Structure 1
Amino acid sequence: MRVLIPGITGQLGRMVATRLLEEGHEVIGIDRRPWPAAPAGIEMHNVDLQKRAAEDVFRKSRPQAVIHMATVTHLVEQTEERYRINLGGTRVVFDNSRACGVEHVIFVGRHTYYGAGPESPLYHTEEDPPMAVSTFPELADLVAADLYACTALWRAPELCTTVLRMCYTLGPTGHGTLASFLRGPRVPYVLGFDPLFQFMHEQDVVTAICLALEKRIRGVYNVSGPQPVPLSLIIRAAGRVAVPLPEFVLRNAFGRFGLPKLPRAALTHIKYPVVVDGAAFRAATGFKHAIDEAQAIREYRDAHPVPASRP
C-alpha cells in the first residue's frame, strides 16, 4: 500500500514509517524538518504542509492512505503558529486527500481531548464531549483539529476516516508530554492530589496505528494500553524525586527551581486524571499491548537517567 505520512520526522512518525516499510508498504513523508538518516525506500519531501508543494506531493504520489501526524503541542510550539499547524494543517490534509482520491485517512490525536476536572468520569468513552477547551486553553487548537477530523465522517463519506485518541507515550526515546514532564531530577505534583496517568510504550503506539491502517476501521477510537498508574508512583519508578507542593506555590513555580515549564492551566492535568476506555478499539482491531507499565517506565528511566545535581 502507498502510505503518505505528514509529520514523518517526529519520533513517532519515524517509528511508524520504519514499521510500515518493514511490512512492505511504500512510504512517502512530508515534513518541514529534514530526516537525513531516513531508511532507504522512504520518499521524503521537505515542504510545508500548507504550501502548494505539499499539494503537488499528494497529486503526484496518489497515496492510498494518509496517516496525519503533523500536529504539535504547547511544549513544542507556544505561539499562534501552533493553531496554523494543527487546525490549518488538518484541514489541508483532508482537502488534499479528497481531491486526490485517497481511500483511508488516519488522524492521530490525543486523549487529552477530553480534558481533566473534578467532575470528569474516570473512564472516558468516545461519546464524551471535550472539556479541555475550558480547562486548558493551550489545547484548544488540538481539540479543534480532532473535531474537524471527526466531521470528515459525514462531510466526506467516500473517505474511510479514523480518528485515534492516543493516551500518553512513554519509552526510551523520551517522546511525548509525560516523558517531558518527567525529564528533570525533581517532578512536582499538587499536594493532596495523586491522579492516575494512562500511558503506553511507544512501540505499542506504533502497533496500534499500524493496526488501524491494516484493519481499515472507520470512526473515532480511544487507544489505551496497560492499567493507569498514580503519578507519584510513576515519578518514583522513573528514579525521580516527587515534590508535593501546595497548588498556589506550584502555579508560580513552573519553569523555576529545576521544575518543568508548563502553562498554569496544566495544573488541572496534574490534579485530575484523564483516563480513556479503549475497549472499542481493541474489539475492532484485536489490539493487545505487548509492554506493561513497569517495563515502559524502566526503559524510560534507563535511557534518561536522572541528571547530575549541580553543586
Structure 2
Amino acid sequence: MSNERKPHILVTGAAGALAQQVINRLRDDYFLVAVDFREQVYLGDDIPSYCIDFNKRVFEDLFRRYDFDGVIHLGRIMSSQETRMRRYNANVLGTQKMLDLSHKYGIERVVILSTYHVYGANAYNPALIDEEAPLKGAGLSMDLIDSVELENLANIYLWRYPDLNITVLRPCNIVGPGVRNSISTLLASRRAPVLAGFSPIMQFIHIDDMADAIVLAYKNNQRGVFNVVPEDWVAYQHALLLCGCTRVPIPSIPPILPRTIARLLNLKSFPPYLMHFFKYPVVIDGRAFRDTFGFKPRRPLKEVFRYYRENKQPV
C-alpha cells in the first residue's frame, strides 16, 4: 500500500478555517497542495502551500508539477473582505481559470463551495427552497453578483465537461470556531443589530459538519448542485438571545435608513448587501444532499450557541 501513489488534490482558500478542517480530514489518505491568493499558510512539512493569484501563469505551473486528480475549491471570498473588483477577479475570473485548467489537465473531480445567498432574500421566497429555485441574489445587490456568476460558471462547466464531475455545495450560514463571516461575527458580539419588527428563520451549520460534508461530497462522486443544511432552524433574534447577545433594534424603513445607520456605526457584520437576509427568511431544503450522500450532521444548534455564549469577543 505504501508504494501506491496517493491521489493528488488541490485545495484552494487554504487560509480559511474551513479549508484547514478539510485538509486535516484528508491529509492521511491524499497528497494535498494548498493555495490561497491572500496569504501563504504553513500546514505542515507534508503539504506544499502557495500564495498565488489564480489568474497568474504560475497557477498553471502547479497543475503541471503536481498532476492533480481533483480540486476542492473553497477559495470564494466574501463581500466584506475585498473591493468589488478584486473580489470579482478572484471569485469569478479565478474560478473560471481554475475550471479551464482542470479541464486542460484532465482532472476528474471538482468540488466547489458556493453559498445559499445566491437564492436572494425576498418576501416571496417559498417556505423550503430546493436546488431548482432561481438564483435571485444578483437582482438584490451588486455585492452578490460575483457569487451568482461563480455558480453560473460552475453550472456551465458542469454540463459542458461532464468528465470534470463537478459538485457545487450551497451551505446555509457556516458558524463555529475560527469562522470569520458576517453572521459569526454577529453571534460572537455582545451587542448585535436587528431590524425592528423582523426576525427571519435562519439555518446554521457547524464548521465541523461542513468540513465533513465537503469530504463526503469529494469521496462520493455525484455530480450536481446540492444545498447543505442541518434539519433544525431558529429565528434570528432568538439565536442572538441563545448566544447571549444584547439586541440593538434598528428602524427598517425607509430602506436607506438601516444601511445609513450600519455605515455610521461601522457595523461591518451588518453589511447593506445582506440587509434583506435579516428581513426575510431563506430556508433551504437539504434533503437531496442528505439522501444522496448519507449526510448526518453531528453538531446540534445548542452546541453552536453555547460556543458563542462562552466566547464573547470579536471572532
* Contact 2:14–2:41 (Cα < 8 Å) also in 1: no
Match of 1:3 in 2: 9
> Partners of 2:265 and 2:252 in 1: how far apart?
16
C-alpha deviation, 1:120, in angstroms: 0.6
Structure 2 CA distance for partners of 1:262 and 1:190, relative to 1, 3 Å: closer
Letter in 2 for 1:209: I
Letter in 2 for 1:268: H
Letter in 2 for 1:270: F
> Partners of 2:199 and 2:8 in 1: how far apart?
45
> Partners of 1:63 and 1:45 in 2: how far apart?
15
SS of residue matched to 1:90 = helix
Match of 1:239 in 2: 244
Q: Is 81-90 or 225-234 further displaced after alignment? A: 225-234
C-alpha deviation, 1:90, in angstroms: 0.9
Structure 2 CA distance for partners of 1:162 and 1:75, relative to 1, 3 Å: same
Match of 1:20 in 2: 26
SS of residue matched to 1:37 = coil
Match of 2:294 in 1: 286
CA deviations on 1:47-93 (whole Å, 9 max, x unpaired) are 21111101010122111110111111111113311110110011011
Q: Is 228-237 or 170-179 further displaced after alignment? A: 170-179
* Contact 2:11–2:74 (Cα < 8 Å) also in 1: yes
Structure 2 CA distance for partners of 1:193 and 1:91, relative to 1, 3 Å: same
Structure 1 position 182 matched with structure 2 position 187: yes
Match of 1:101 in 2: 106
Structure 1 position 216 matched with structure 2 position 221: yes
TM-score (norm 2): 0.92
Overall identity of the aligned pairs, in %: 32
* Contact 1:164–1:222 (Cα < 8 Å) also in 2: yes
Pick the aligned partner of 1:301 from 297, 309, 313: 309
Which runs of 5 or more residues in structure 1 are unaligned? Answer: none
SS of residue matched to 1:189 = strand
Letter in 1 for 2:18: L
Pick the aligned partner of 1:266 from 274, 278, 301: 274
C-alpha deviation, 1:183, in angstroms: 4.0
Match of 2:212 in 1: 207
Match of 2:131 in 1: 126
Letter in 1 for 2:78: T
> Partners of 2:158 and 2:41 in 1: how far apart?
36
CA deviations on 1:256-281 (whole Å, 9 max, x unpaired) are 44744544332211101111101011
* Contact 2:109–2:164 (Cα < 8 Å) also in 1: yes
> Partners of 2:71 and 2:41 in 1: how far apart?
22
> Partners of 2:177 and 2:22 in 1: how far apart?
16
> Partners of 1:135 and 1:120 in 2: how far apart?
13
SS of residue matched to 1:48 = coil
Which runs of 5 or more residues in structure 2 are unaligned? Answer: 1-6
Structure 2 CA distance for partners of 1:42 and 1:140, relative to 1, 3 Å: same
* Contact 2:188–2:308 (Cα < 8 Å) also in 1: no
> Partners of 1:83 and 1:258 in 2: how far apart?
24
SS of residue matched to 2:24 = helix
> Partners of 2:312 and 2:270 in 1: how far apart?
21
**CA RMSD between the two structures:** 1.6
> Partners of 2:118 and 2:158 in 1: how far apart?
18
Match of 1:159 in 2: 164
Letter in 2 for 1:254: A
Task: Map 1:28-107 to 2 at 5 A.
Answer: 28-107=33-112
Q: Is 124-133 or 176-185 further displaced after alignment? A: 176-185
CA deviations on 1:113-164 (whole Å, 9 max, x unpaired) are 1010000112110000011111122111111001100111211122111011
Match of 2:4 in 1: none
> Partners of 1:19 and 1:39 in 2: how far apart?
14
Count the aligned residue pairs: 305
* Contact 1:4–1:67 (Cα < 8 Å) also in 2: yes
> Partners of 1:97 and 1:133 in 2: how far apart?
27
C-alpha deviation, 1:46, in angstroms: 2.1
CA deviations on 1:211-255 (whole Å, 9 max, x unpaired) are 001111111111101411100111111111012222134232114
> Partners of 1:161 and 1:99 in 2: how far apart?
15
* Contact 2:182–2:270 (Cα < 8 Å) also in 1: no
C-alpha deviation, 1:21, in angstroms: 0.7
> Partners of 2:261 and 2:148 in 1: how far apart?
27
